[in-house]
Amino acid sequence: AQSVAQPEDQVNVAEGNPLTVKCTYSVSGNPYLFWYVQYPNRGLQFLLKYITGDNLVKGSYGFEAEFNKSQTSFHLKKPSALVSDSALYFCAVRINSGYSTLTFGKGTMLLVSP
Amino acid sequence: GAVVSQHPSWVICKSGTSVKIECRSLDFQATTMFWYRQFPKQSLMLMATSNEGSKATYEQGVEKDKFLINHASLTLSTLTVTSAHPEDSSFYICSARVPGGFNEQFFGPGTRLTVL
Protein backbone atom coordinates (compact mmCIF):
# COMPACT_ATOMS: atom_id res chain seq x y z
CA ALA A 1 0.00 0.00 0.00
CA GLN A 2 1.11 3.54 -0.63
CA SER A 3 0.39 6.62 1.44
CA VAL A 4 1.19 10.30 1.67
CA ALA A 5 1.36 12.44 4.78
CA GLN A 6 1.09 16.20 4.80
CA PRO A 7 1.50 16.95 8.49
CA GLU A 8 0.36 20.57 8.35
CA ASP A 9 -3.23 21.54 7.71
CA GLN A 10 -2.17 25.12 7.17
CA VAL A 11 1.05 27.04 6.60
CA ASN A 12 1.20 30.78 7.16
CA VAL A 13 3.98 32.88 5.71
CA ALA A 14 4.52 36.56 5.00
CA GLU A 15 4.95 37.72 1.43
CA GLY A 16 8.58 37.74 0.41
CA ASN A 17 9.59 35.08 2.93
CA PRO A 18 10.57 31.55 1.95
CA LEU A 19 7.92 28.86 2.25
CA THR A 20 8.01 25.12 2.82
CA VAL A 21 5.10 22.70 2.58
CA LYS A 22 5.97 19.29 3.95
CA CYS A 23 5.26 15.89 2.45
CA THR A 24 6.40 12.41 3.39
CA TYR A 25 5.46 9.24 1.59
CA SER A 26 5.40 5.49 1.92
CA VAL A 27 5.53 3.11 -1.03
CA SER A 28 6.79 -0.39 -1.67
CA GLY A 29 9.03 0.37 -4.59
CA ASN A 30 10.44 3.40 -6.30
CA PRO A 31 8.13 6.40 -6.19
CA TYR A 32 6.88 8.92 -8.64
CA LEU A 33 6.10 12.07 -6.64
CA PHE A 34 3.95 15.04 -7.58
CA TRP A 35 2.81 18.39 -6.27
CA TYR A 36 -0.45 19.96 -7.34
CA VAL A 37 -2.09 23.26 -6.45
CA GLN A 38 -5.80 23.89 -6.23
CA TYR A 39 -7.52 27.26 -6.20
CA PRO A 40 -11.11 27.55 -4.89
CA ASN A 41 -13.64 25.68 -7.03
CA ARG A 42 -10.96 24.68 -9.51
CA GLY A 43 -9.36 21.41 -10.50
CA LEU A 44 -5.79 20.48 -9.77
CA GLN A 45 -2.95 22.28 -11.48
CA PHE A 46 0.31 20.41 -11.89
CA LEU A 47 3.33 22.07 -10.26
CA LEU A 48 6.17 19.60 -10.51
CA LYS A 49 7.13 15.96 -10.40
CA TYR A 50 10.00 13.70 -9.45
CA ILE A 51 10.50 10.67 -11.62
CA THR A 52 14.21 9.96 -11.51
CA GLY A 53 17.52 11.78 -11.68
CA ASP A 54 18.33 15.01 -9.88
CA ASN A 55 16.82 15.12 -6.41
CA LEU A 56 16.03 18.82 -6.72
CA VAL A 57 13.11 19.36 -9.02
CA LYS A 58 12.10 22.77 -10.34
CA GLY A 59 8.54 23.42 -11.35
CA SER A 60 6.01 26.06 -12.26
CA TYR A 61 5.70 29.52 -10.68
CA GLY A 62 9.11 29.35 -9.00
CA PHE A 63 8.34 26.29 -6.90
CA GLU A 64 10.83 23.51 -6.31
CA ALA A 65 10.92 20.30 -4.32
CA GLU A 66 13.66 18.06 -3.06
CA PHE A 67 13.38 14.30 -3.12
CA ASN A 68 15.01 12.77 -0.06
CA LYS A 69 14.98 9.00 -0.26
CA SER A 70 16.42 8.35 3.19
CA GLN A 71 13.80 10.54 4.85
CA THR A 72 11.08 9.55 2.34
CA SER A 73 10.23 13.20 1.94
CA PHE A 74 9.36 15.51 -0.93
CA HIS A 75 8.94 18.97 0.58
CA LEU A 76 7.71 21.82 -1.59
CA LYS A 77 9.65 25.07 -1.38
CA LYS A 78 9.73 28.56 -2.79
CA PRO A 79 12.38 31.19 -1.97
CA SER A 80 10.00 34.14 -1.90
CA ALA A 81 6.26 33.71 -1.36
CA LEU A 82 3.61 35.74 -3.16
CA VAL A 83 0.09 36.51 -1.93
CA SER A 84 -1.14 34.83 -5.10
CA ASP A 85 0.48 31.57 -3.95
CA SER A 86 -2.28 31.24 -1.35
CA ALA A 87 -4.07 28.03 -2.24
CA LEU A 88 -4.47 24.37 -1.31
CA TYR A 89 -1.46 22.20 -2.09
CA PHE A 90 -1.53 18.44 -2.58
CA CYS A 91 1.34 16.01 -2.60
CA ALA A 92 0.76 12.73 -4.42
CA VAL A 93 2.65 9.49 -4.96
CA ARG A 94 2.48 6.41 -7.11
CA ILE A 95 4.89 3.61 -7.74
CA ASN A 96 6.82 3.64 -10.98
CA SER A 97 5.47 0.47 -12.47
CA GLY A 98 2.57 -0.42 -14.65
CA TYR A 99 -0.65 1.43 -14.25
CA SER A 100 -0.52 2.29 -10.58
CA THR A 101 -2.91 4.94 -9.29
CA LEU A 102 -2.12 8.19 -7.56
CA THR A 103 -2.53 8.52 -3.82
CA PHE A 104 -3.00 12.03 -2.49
CA GLY A 105 -2.15 13.63 0.80
CA LYS A 106 -4.90 15.45 2.66
CA GLY A 107 -3.69 18.81 1.46
CA THR A 108 -2.08 21.84 3.05
CA MET A 109 -3.61 25.27 2.89
CA LEU A 110 -0.96 27.91 2.25
CA LEU A 111 -1.83 31.43 3.34
CA VAL A 112 0.53 34.20 2.32
CA SER A 113 -0.08 37.49 4.07
CA PRO A 114 0.77 40.85 2.48
CA GLY B 1 0.36 19.86 -22.83
CA ALA B 2 -2.49 17.44 -22.40
CA VAL B 3 -5.85 19.07 -21.70
CA VAL B 4 -8.82 17.55 -19.93
CA SER B 5 -12.19 19.26 -19.87
CA GLN B 6 -15.29 18.68 -17.77
CA HIS B 7 -18.85 19.67 -18.41
CA PRO B 8 -20.72 21.15 -16.74
CA SER B 9 -18.51 23.16 -14.41
CA TRP B 10 -21.37 23.43 -11.94
CA VAL B 11 -24.85 21.99 -11.68
CA ILE B 12 -27.75 22.36 -9.27
CA CYS B 13 -30.45 19.73 -9.28
CA LYS B 14 -33.41 18.59 -7.25
CA SER B 15 -33.26 15.57 -5.01
CA GLY B 16 -34.20 12.40 -6.86
CA THR B 17 -33.01 13.50 -10.28
CA SER B 18 -30.00 12.17 -12.16
CA VAL B 19 -27.05 14.24 -13.27
CA LYS B 20 -24.47 13.41 -15.94
CA ILE B 21 -20.95 14.83 -15.88
CA GLU B 22 -18.70 14.55 -18.92
CA CYS B 23 -14.93 14.26 -18.93
CA ARG B 24 -13.06 14.70 -22.20
CA SER B 25 -9.43 14.43 -23.17
CA LEU B 26 -9.07 17.15 -25.79
CA ASP B 27 -5.74 16.47 -27.43
CA PHE B 28 -4.94 12.86 -26.64
CA GLN B 29 -6.60 9.50 -26.43
CA ALA B 30 -7.09 8.20 -22.93
CA THR B 31 -7.74 4.52 -22.45
CA THR B 32 -8.01 5.14 -18.74
CA MET B 33 -9.76 7.92 -16.88
CA PHE B 34 -10.33 8.39 -13.18
CA TRP B 35 -13.14 9.94 -11.18
CA TYR B 36 -12.48 11.61 -7.86
CA ARG B 37 -14.72 13.17 -5.26
CA GLN B 38 -13.64 16.01 -3.02
CA PHE B 39 -15.41 17.36 0.04
CA PRO B 40 -14.71 20.92 1.20
CA LYS B 41 -11.16 21.41 2.41
CA GLN B 42 -10.44 17.70 2.04
CA SER B 43 -8.34 15.56 -0.22
CA LEU B 44 -9.38 13.83 -3.39
CA MET B 45 -10.97 10.44 -2.95
CA LEU B 46 -10.68 8.06 -5.88
CA MET B 47 -14.14 6.78 -6.74
CA ALA B 48 -13.46 4.64 -9.78
CA THR B 49 -11.16 3.89 -12.66
CA SER B 50 -12.79 4.04 -16.06
CA ASN B 51 -11.38 1.92 -18.88
CA GLU B 52 -12.46 2.42 -22.47
CA GLY B 53 -14.68 -0.35 -23.69
CA SER B 54 -14.97 -2.16 -20.38
CA LYS B 55 -16.63 -1.86 -17.02
CA ALA B 56 -15.32 0.65 -14.53
CA THR B 57 -13.45 -0.50 -11.45
CA TYR B 58 -14.95 1.03 -8.33
CA GLU B 59 -13.16 1.69 -5.08
CA GLN B 60 -14.38 0.06 -1.93
CA GLY B 61 -17.41 1.77 -0.50
CA VAL B 62 -18.47 3.48 -3.74
CA GLU B 63 -21.95 2.45 -4.89
CA LYS B 64 -21.82 1.20 -8.47
CA ASP B 65 -25.53 1.69 -9.04
CA LYS B 66 -25.38 5.20 -7.64
CA PHE B 67 -22.43 6.42 -9.65
CA LEU B 68 -22.66 5.06 -13.18
CA ILE B 69 -19.53 5.38 -15.26
CA ASN B 70 -19.37 4.94 -19.01
CA HIS B 71 -16.15 5.21 -21.01
CA ALA B 72 -17.58 4.83 -24.49
CA SER B 73 -14.71 6.32 -26.47
CA LEU B 74 -11.03 7.07 -26.13
CA THR B 75 -11.75 10.71 -25.37
CA LEU B 76 -14.92 10.63 -23.29
CA SER B 77 -15.94 9.25 -19.93
CA THR B 78 -19.19 10.11 -18.20
CA LEU B 79 -20.24 9.93 -14.57
CA THR B 80 -23.95 9.80 -13.87
CA VAL B 81 -25.12 10.40 -10.34
CA THR B 82 -28.45 8.59 -10.19
CA SER B 83 -31.29 9.61 -7.91
CA ALA B 84 -29.14 12.31 -6.41
CA HIS B 85 -29.56 13.31 -2.78
CA PRO B 86 -28.12 16.25 -0.83
CA GLU B 87 -25.33 14.06 0.55
CA ASP B 88 -24.11 13.58 -3.02
CA SER B 89 -23.32 17.27 -3.20
CA SER B 90 -19.61 17.54 -3.76
CA PHE B 91 -16.86 18.56 -6.14
CA TYR B 92 -16.20 15.88 -8.74
CA ILE B 93 -12.89 15.83 -10.59
CA CYS B 94 -11.86 13.59 -13.44
CA SER B 95 -8.41 12.84 -14.73
CA ALA B 96 -7.12 11.11 -17.82
CA ARG B 97 -4.02 9.03 -18.17
CA VAL B 98 -1.71 9.72 -21.09
CA PRO B 99 -0.64 6.35 -22.46
CA GLY B 100 3.03 5.61 -22.79
CA GLY B 101 5.98 7.09 -20.96
CA PHE B 102 5.25 6.99 -17.31
CA ASN B 103 1.48 7.23 -17.80
CA GLU B 104 1.03 10.72 -16.41
CA GLN B 105 -2.40 11.87 -15.31
CA PHE B 106 -3.93 15.21 -16.24
CA PHE B 107 -6.85 16.64 -14.32
CA GLY B 108 -10.03 18.31 -15.39
CA PRO B 109 -11.25 21.56 -13.83
CA GLY B 110 -13.90 19.84 -11.73
CA THR B 111 -17.69 19.94 -11.49
CA ARG B 112 -19.50 21.37 -8.49
CA LEU B 113 -22.71 19.40 -7.85
CA THR B 114 -25.32 20.79 -5.50
CA VAL B 115 -28.39 18.71 -4.78
CA LEU B 116 -31.29 20.58 -3.22
Tens-place pLDDT, residues B66-98? 999 998 889 999 999 999 999 999 999 999 988
Predicted local distance difference test score (pLDDT) of residue B54: 85
Distance between CA B113 and CA B116 in Å, rounded? 10
What integer pLDDT is reported at residue A52 of this predicted model?
86
Q: Are A44 and B6 within 8 A, CB to CB?
A: no
* Confidence grade of residue B107 (pLDDT, cut at 50, 70, 90): very high
Q: Identify the band that residue B34 occupies on the pLDDT scale cut at 50, 70 and 90.
A: very high
What radius of gyration do chain A's Cα atoms show? Answer: 14
Provide the pLDDT for residue B100: 73
Query: What was the pLDDT predicted at B89?
Result: 95
d(CA B37, CA B59): 12
Radius of gyration of chain B measured on its C-alpha atoms: 13
B28 or B7, which is more confident: B7
Q: Measured between alpha carbons, how far apart are the two ends of chain A, in Å?
A: 41
Chain B residue nearest residue A105, CA to CA? B43
Residue A78: what pLDDT? 98
Q: Find the chain B residues whose C-beta atoms sit closer than 8 A to any C-beta of A.
A: 6, 10, 32, 34, 41-44, 46, 49, 91, 93, 95, 97, 102-110, 112
**What's residue A33's pLDDT?**
94
Residues of chain A with pLDDT under 50: none
Q: Where are the beta strands (DSSP E) in B10-104?
A: 10-13, 19-25, 32-38, 44-51, 57-58, 67-73, 76-81, 90-97
The confidence score (pLDDT) of residue B1 equals: 67
Quote the pLDDT of residue A56: 95
Q: Using alpha carbons, select from B59, B80, B60 the residue that is nearest to residue B69.
A: B80
| Per-chain mean pLDDT for chain A | 92
Strand, coil or helix: B86: helix
Q: What is the pLDDT of residue A99?
A: 64
Asked whether the beta carbons of residue B32 and residue A90 sit closer than 8 angstroms, the reply is no
Nearest Cα residue to A44 out of B106, B25, B61, B74? B106
End-to-end CA distance of chain B: 37
| A26: helix, strand or coil | strand
Task: Residue A36: name the closest of A110, A111, A99, A98 by CA.
Answer: A110
**Cβ neighbours of A104 in B, within 8 Å:** 43-44
CB A93 within 8 A of CB A35: no
- DSSP letters along A44-93, please? EEEEEEE-SS-SEEE-GGG-EEEEETTTTEEEEEESS--GGG-EEEEEEE
Residue, of B59 and A41, whose pLDDT is higher? B59
Q: Do B102 and A107 touch (CB under 8 A)?
A: no
Q: HSE (CB half, 13 Å, CA atoms) of A55?
A: 10
The C-alpha atoms of residue A113 and residue A85 are separated, in whole angstroms, by: 10
If you average pLDDT over residues B40-63, what whole number do you get?
89
